[in-house]
Structures are given as structure tokens and as C-alpha cells.
Amino acid sequence: MTKASLQATERDESGYRSRQVWQLAIICGTQFLVALDYSIINVAAPSIREGMGLTSGGDAAWILSAYALAFSGFLLLGGRVADLFGRKRVFLWSLVGLGLASLLAGLAWSPASLIAGRALQGIAAAFIAPAGLGLLQAAIPEGPRRERALGIYGSALSAGFVSGMVLGGVLTQYLGWRSTLLINIPIVLLACVPAKALLDESRDTRSSRNLDVTGAALGTIGMVALVFALTEGQKHGWLSAPILLSAGIAVASGALFVRAERRKRDALVPVSIFRTGAIGAANLLNVVLICSYGGMLFILTLYLQEHLDMGALATGLTFAVSGAIAIVTGIYAGKLVERFGLYRVLLSGIAIETVGILVMVGLPEGHGLTLVLVGTAVNAFGHILALITTSIAGTNGVDEGRRATAGALINVSQQLGLAVGVGVVTSVAAYFTAASGGAGDPGAVLTGWRWSLWFSVAFAVGAIIITVLFRKRFEKEQAA
């Protein structure tokens, strides 16, 4: 090989690496936006109720939950559509859809239009998230570079969620609640141009473009019904008609979904994907991990705001400390996996996460802020390690035609874990509060929260058990 050809090869390699960096930046930037939209509206909720003149608690609740319900319900469909029709194409059009939905929500003239805008935001995000993760897998082959990329990806999600809690308070205070929705539009416009120029198209070239409509309908209906039942059960009553109906629909849809997917060649989610590598184990673990983390976060938010009388912005800033730790840890998580192996980092992360919750189970009546800061910092360090390693295990070995589907499954397992975790801790808190003197007694409420955190610990211990049981699968991933 001549000197000139060597120089050309170096330039090609350098250009390829540079392109990967830009692709990763675009993908992570949009995932930051998806996570931001998930949390930003919570801080603005009181201003929205006042600005819209809402007197119905139901309307206010739907404004908050419309995004989450739509996001969780359409993830599986979004992943398969991206695989079949082109991940870049779906990614770009979904970004445009997110911008238009944000415009509708930001200019909403009634509660119904605001709820519709938030639901459309969730649907758009449900296509962006799996398409983005599929693009990342297509752009960066399996190995150390992808592991580091997934670490940065996890950091972007953490940054987006925490930024939403902080930015929502700042924007609401100085520019009004509508700005928390309209902020998406300039970000989307800035992202679309480089995304169109730099992202490479990829899709499933071996399957026909016949979408599994039956599976898509059953999966969407089942997920929406299940998430609704789990998140709203405590409010409406677990034996109330809406919750029982939703649970029944979820069970029936789930059973029909599994039956249909087993029989179809081009299924929305082939059962075989869960037997590929550690994908099944990783998604199961993901559910339990988020049960623990989501439940803990929910209880600590109540503790800070209702017991320590902290405002929404101050609460967001409190969690920003642990968020910053998660961001930094995520950036280096891939290197830790490369050095110590996936299984060891995963198990260590869950153990550290468990210790962080244990620090906080005895929530004090006063001066608990320091305890929360220390506990969430320790927890965040371990949680992001566990989250990134499960993402690595949940995408390694997947068929190239199912990359976005694998990304959708990771997101679905997280949404399911969040719904279960919040549903469990709210029920536990209500039960022990009532048993200790009722909601009118601050000490009884505190007792209920403490018991809820013990259940978060139990979920974390369950995650450790699952990790050990599936040790061989996770070790195969690190060997591969």
C-alpha cells in the first residue's frame, strides 16, 4: 500500500468517526428532548390549572398523563414502523410531528386541545425513541464503541428528565406555562437539518412492508389500558369500574397479542427476540429496576414538596444533583463495561442503587434534605450503571431488521416498570398511612412513605436476584 493510499484511508477513517460523533449527538439530542417533555409539564401544572381556569381535577390529571399514556401505548408500533419503512424517515417525520404537536399544545385554547396536543406529543415521541435507538445501533457496530455510545445515550435521557424539572420552573416563572411546550419548536427545527444531512437510512430489507395491524392494535390497546390501570388505580380505587375495566382490557389484549404474535411470520414483536442473547433477561430486569427507581422518585417528590414544603423548582434542583452524577457516570459507563465486564458492572450498579435507597428508608420528620441528597446521589450512580448495561444487553445480538423493535422493547419495559412501581408505592403508602392514624396525621403519612421505600428496596433486591439467575446470559454478552 502506497503512502498516498494510507493517507486516504486515514482520512476516510477519520471522516467516518467524525460522522458517527455527529450522528450520536443528533440521536442523543432528540432523546434528551423526549425525556424533557416527560417531566417539564409537571412543574408547570399549577400554572396551567390557573391559566386554563380548570376546576375539574380530571382535566388537570389528563393533561399530565396524556403524554405518558400515548408514549407507552405506541412504542411497539413505532419501533416496527421504523424497522419496516426506514428509521431515518420515521425519525425525521416524527420530529416534525413533535414540533406540530407542541405548537398545538402551546397555543391550546381549551383543556381538550391541550390534552390532544400532549397526547400527540407522546405519539410522536413513541416513534422517535425506538427509531433513534435503531439508528444508533445501525451507525455503531457492537463492541466497546457502541457500549460507550449507549452510556452517552443514557446520560442524555437523565439530563433531559432532570432538565425538564428545572427548566419547567424557570420557564413557567418568567415566560409562562405555554413556553414549556413551545420550547420544543426551535429545538426540533435545529435538529431536523443536521439529521436529514448526516443520519444514514437503514431498515429491515428482508421482510415485506406488510405491517402487523392486528398486533399493533392489540399491543397499543393493551399497553394504554395497563398503564392507565396501574397509574390511576389508587386514585379511582382498585376495585372501581374504570380500573377493573382497564385491567380486563389489558389482560385480554395481552393474551390475544401473545397468541397472534406466535402465529405470524412478520409479527410486530416476534417471540424469538426474547430468546436472542440476553434480550429477554435484560427487559425483565429493566421492568424491576424501574419499579424500584420510579417508586422511590415518586415518594421522595411527595416528601420534599408536602413534608419539607419545598416548591417544584427547589425539588427539581434537589434532583438535579443526582441527575448530574448520573450524566457524568453514564459517559464513562461504557469504559467500565469494557474493563470489568457487563455482568460485574450490572450487579455492582444494582447493589449500589439498593444502598442508596436504604440510606433514605428512615425519612426523618425534619431536616431530611441532606439525607435525600446523599441517598439519591448514591442511587443515581448505581442506577445509571444498571440502566446502561441492561440497554447494552437488550440490544446486542438483535437481528439488523429488528433494531428499532429492540429499542422499543427497552422503552416499553421502562414504562411498564414506572407504572407498576408508582402503583405499588402509592397503594403501600395509602395502606400504612391509614393503619397508622390516617392522612390527617403527618406522622402517619411519613410512616406510609417509609414503608413504600422499603418496597422500592425489595424491587432492587429482586433485580439483584434476577441478575444472578441470568448470570450466564449476561456473561455471554460480555464475552461476545
Same domain, 248 and 373: no
Considering the domain boundaries, does residue 76 fall inside one?
yes
Domain that holds residue 261: 216-267
Same domain, 31 and 153: yes
Which residue, 66, 50, 74, is CA-closest to 115?
Answer: 66
The number of folded domains in the chain is 3
Same domain, 20 and 123: yes
Same domain, 168 and 254: no
Considering the domain boundaries, does residue 207 fall inside one?
no
CATH code at 417? 1.20.1250.20
pLDDT in tens, 368-393: 899 999 999 999 999 999 999 999 99
Is the pLDDT score of 56 beyond 60? no
Confidence of residue 57 (pLDDT cuts 50, 70, 90): low
The answer to whether 445 and 433 are in contact (CB under 8 A) is yes
Same domain, 100 and 192: yes
Q: How far apart are CA 79 and CA 337, in angstroms?
A: 27
Same domain, 468 and 324: yes
Rounded to the nearest 5 percent, the helix, strand and coil shares of the chain are 85, 0, 15
pLDDT greater at residue 440 or residue 390 = 390
Give, for 232, the enclosing helix (H) or strand (E): helix 213-236
Same domain, 252 and 359: no
**Which of 199, 229, 250 delimits the end of a domain?**
199
Same domain, 135 and 228: no
Q: How far apart are CA 96 and CA 91, in angstroms?
A: 9
**Lowest-confidence pick of 45-59, 116-130, 215-229, 260-274:** 45-59
Instruction: State the pLDDT at residue 213.
Output: 86
Q: How far apart are CA 432 and CA 343, in angstroms?
A: 37
Is the pLDDT score of 5 beyond 80? no
Same domain, 28 and 124: yes
Q: Tell how far CA 409 is from the center of its chain.
A: 11
Average pLDDT rounded to a whole number, residues 252-279: 86
The residue whose grid cell reads 389508587 is: 234
Is the pLDDT score of 6 beyond 70? no
Confidence of residue 3 (pLDDT cuts 50, 70, 90): very low
The pTM for the full model equals 0.86
Which residue, 382, 356, 314, is CA-closest to 154?
Answer: 382
**Which of 267, 287, 309 delimits the end of a domain?**
267
The answer to whether 242 and 230 are in contact (CB under 8 A) is no
Instruction: State the pLDDT at residue 272.
Output: 84
Same domain, 221 and 294: no
Confidence of residue 100 (pLDDT cuts 50, 70, 90): very high
Is the pLDDT score of 479 beyond 70? no
Considering the domain boundaries, does residue 226 fall inside one?
yes
pLDDT in tens, 234-248: 778 888 998 999 999
Considering the domain boundaries, does residue 112 fall inside one?
yes
Considering the domain boundaries, does residue 290 fall inside one?
yes
